[in-house]
Amino acid sequence: MTLVVLQVLPALVAGGVERGTLEIAEAVIGAGGRALVASAGGPLVGPLERLGARHVTLPLASKNPARMLANARALTALAREERVGIIHARSRAPAWSALLAARRSGAHFVTTYHGTYNEGFPGKRLYNSVMARGERVIAISDFIAEHIRARHATPAARLRIIPRGVDPRSFDPAAVTPARLAALRTAWGVPADRPVVVLPGRLTRWKGQGVLVEAMARLGGDVVALLVGEGGYRAELAARIAALGLEGRVLLPGHAEDMPAVLLLADVVVHASTDAEAFGRTVIEAQAMARPVIAADLGAPRDTVAEGETGWRVPPGDPAALAARLATVLALPPEARATIGARARAAVLARYTTAAMQASTLAVYRELLPAGSLSEPFGAAAAGPAPGAIVAP
């Protein structure tokens, strides 16, 4: 019997949830199964279909109860028609429709809990709780697993911790040519003889770009900071950079396609989020590139950044502490920073690879399915030494 997995999410736009959806579709196909994805569509539909998966367009971003019920009917019909064995929900509104569809069609229901999901108004915890109702509930970090236990009392028998992953073939320092680095320096006007700090991420207040700007005002010297990304916070950042006289020292180069080269350009990579990150994939991407990382001391970076071993953590929202740590790290001999970077890459290769995440997710599917529904070679070959799905204590 061939496994058919249907993943549901609001839309296929750029983001960690969406990238993970494509990665699991690839894993299912690689293990001999069929991969379906239902969403409202988006720019990643093309890449998904090139993997060999089928996309079904439904208005799954809607939170209108009538529309959610209609989506449940459509998903039920799809699940029955395609003989879906697993419905895997990745977001709350689609998950309610998917839960009904799973019950009606007999498919197994799996969820991935991707965030902390605020509870700002009455009834929000009930709305959020659908993400803890899977027969298996996948937490993307130890931090999120603890959150699920605290909010929903999910039994350990249903909870699995599967960290997000990075592809170490793409994020490999040895794979980035000097020409790629030179092209970035030229395009962005970064002198080759100045220390570089990089904060990658969408330009939004909670990602902490403003914290790094204030830290740069305290840091002095000839350090250049690159705030790599786009977003609605850009104009406010630009105004603050000008007010502090940091033009030429804090740059807003915009979106970058070649993130491995961007990260390799850095002497230090900064994560400065002021809200807790559910995982923070940019941290492990930087570590995979053997870059020293300074991260905000909250959320999942507490899992991925071992203080003084694979990087450093500073209090969130504290420009003075960030400036002091940057000064200390940049003053280290290059060999010392390289040692930290090498440890960080080794830690990523041991636990935080895309292949490990794919293999662990397939292992969760196998727990719910008849023996032989999914072939072993993809997960076994791809995962290497990484662990399988981890039962939360």
Rounded CA gap, 267 and 228, in Å?
A: 15
Does this model's pTM top 0.75? My answer is: yes
**pLDDT of 232 above 90:** yes
State residue 384's pLDDT score.
39
**Domain boundaries of the chain, sorted by first residue:** 4-165+353-391, 173-351
Average pLDDT (80-86) is 97
Band (165; pLDDT cuts 50, 70, 90):
very high
Q: Which CATH superfamily is domain 4-165+353-391 in?
A: Glycogen Phosphorylase B; (3.40.50.2000)
Question: 385 or 311: which carries more pLDDT confidence?
Answer: 311
Q: Do domains 4-165+353-391 and 173-351 have the same CATH topology?
A: yes
Q: What is the pLDDT of residues 60-76, one digit of tens each?
A: 999 999 999 999 999 99
173-351: what CATH class? alpha beta
- pLDDT-based confidence at residue 18 (cuts at 50, 70, 90): very high
State the pLDDT at residue 374: 66
Q: Which residues touch 257 (CB under 8 Å, ≥6 apart)?
A: none
**In the predicted structure, residue 29 carries a pLDDT above the cut 60:** yes
Which tens digits make up the pLDDT trace of 108-153? 999 999 888 877 777 888 999 999 999 999 999 999 999 999 999 9
Cα angle, residue 119 at apex, residues 113 and 124 outer, rounded to 5°: 85
Q: Is the pLDDT of residue 213 over 90?
A: yes
